[in-house]
Amino acid sequence: MASETNFINQLICDNQRDEAFKKLLDLYQERLYWHIRKLVITHENADDVLQNTFIRIYKSLPNFSQKSALYTWMHKIAYNESLRFLEQNKNKYHISIDDVNKKYLDNLMEDTFFEGNELQVKLQRTLSELPERQRQIFNMKYYDDLKFREISEILDIKEGTLKTSYYNTVKHIENNILNIENFSDKEVN
């Protein structure tokens, strides 16, 4: 914790800020990219949102209250920037966020940066059909490996509610993927 406090002080200090921010980029850019990518789906959109996220982080560092871990705070900013992006696209095309996610999922299969196998595609399709909040909780816990306490801070939801939602989502995904596989097996026979 002391090293994070020192690092934060470097990020806030005017004469050390740029060098410390370069280090921050090196440490967290990839992790935040993949968090954002799960929300906005395509590589190009994730890059745009990531850039906006780091601009917002840079501008907001002097106001960071240190009530949470630095990564949790940055993760919340990335999450909010992703939602802002999805909301802007919803307004741009007059469609719901779920429809935007489905559109991006369809683009995922054409994305040259996506290297998933058939099971991963099934998982992504199942995730795209979930309500937005469930999908967010699942992604943060399963992919980003955040603790329920951290997700609770980011989403402003009670931990018990998060746990219930996460485990119900896991059960739904398992059942859905098994049903898809059973259906595919029946078609082959």
* pLDDT tens digits, one per residue of 90-120: 766 544 555 555 555 555 555 545 555 566 7
Last-in-domain residue among 93, 114, 135:
114
Q: pTM above the 0.75 mark?
A: no
Residue found by looking up tokens 């954002």 in the block: 36
What are the pLDDT digits (tens) for 4-39? 889 999 999 889 999 999 999 999 999 999 989 888
Last residue of a domain, one of 114, 132, 157: 114
CB atoms within 10 A of CB 130: 19
The answer to whether the beta carbons of residues 40 and 82 sit under 8 Å apart is: yes
For tokens 């998982």, the residue is: 123
CATH number at residue 100: 1.10.1740.10
Half-sphere exposure of 107 (CA within 13 A, CB side): 14
Give the count of domains, the chain: 2
- Judge contact between 61 and 12, C-beta under 8 A: yes
92 with 105, same domain?
yes
Last residue of a domain, one of 81, 114, 147: 114
Do 122 and 137 fall into the same domain? yes
pLDDT score recorded for residue 48 = 95
Q: Give me the torsion for CA of 102, 140, 151, 42, rounded to 10°.
A: -50
pLDDT value for 174: 86
Domain with 161 in it: 116-189
Residues 129, 60 share a domain: no
Is the alpha carbon torsion for 159, 147, 58, 6 positive or negative? positive
Chain centroid, CA 15 distance in Å: 32
Please tell me whether residues 58 and 151 are part of one structural domain. no
Same domain, 101 and 20: yes
User: DSSP string spanning 74-117?
Assistant: HHHHHHHHHHHHHHHHHHHHT--HHHHHHHHHHHHHH-TT----
Q: Do 170 and 89 share a domain, yes or no?
A: no
The two three-digit tokens of residue 2, written as one number: 């002391």
Asked whether residue 89 falls in the same domain as residue 48, the answer is yes
pLDDT at residue 183 tops 60: no
What phi and psi values does residue 156 have, to the nearest 5 degrees?
55, 50
Question: Are residues 18 and 109 located together in one domain of the fold?
Answer: yes
Q: 133 and 108: one domain? A: no
- Whether residue 41 is found in the same domain as residue 130: no
